[in-house]
Amino acid sequence: MLWIHPLLELLATGLAIYALSLGWPRFQANHLGKSTHFAWHEHVKHGKYAHILWMAGLVLGQYAVSSTWGNNGATGNHYWIGQVMMLCIAGGYITGVIMDRDKKQRKYLPLVHGVFNALAVLLALTQVYTGSLILRELVLH
């Protein structure tokens, strides 16, 4: 169980980075005045998968830690960064669903959506580091 969490989260993070790269043209069009093509359907599909896998991985990680060590706090900063990340994931998912359901020209909601998701990706990359420390210190010891 302890290995499913990091593998799932790495997959989710890869999908999120891809979705973020697909969203970059929209940012350029909305805020930098560039004429670009936004692959809406691909962005939405990969973004949804990333969000769902991130949340599933978070739940599995909390379950694995509590069943193995009895306390989610055993992973220290990894746990707390994950809690902040969960808020970013929720914000990114909710704003994405709103925009996907009501398709229209927008300027600021996509920006909020992008900030939530860019922060989630940065936190996920931080989690790769903190998670590798946990694997080395608590799992592989």
Residues with Cβ within 8 Å of residue 108, at least 6 apart in sequence: none
Confidence (pLDDT) at 141: 75
Q: Considering the entire predicted model, what is its pTM?
A: 0.90
Q: What is the pLDDT of residues 53-68, one digit of tens each?
A: 999 999 999 998 888 8
Confidence (pLDDT) at 138: 74
pLDDT means over runs of 10, the chain (141 residues): 87 97 92 91 97 95 88 88 96 96 91 97 97 85 75
Confidence (pLDDT) at 1: 65
Q: What are the b/e assignments for 71-109, b being 16+ CB within 10 Å?
A: ebeebeebbebbeebbebbebbbebbeebeeeeeebeee
Confidence (pLDDT) at 92: 97
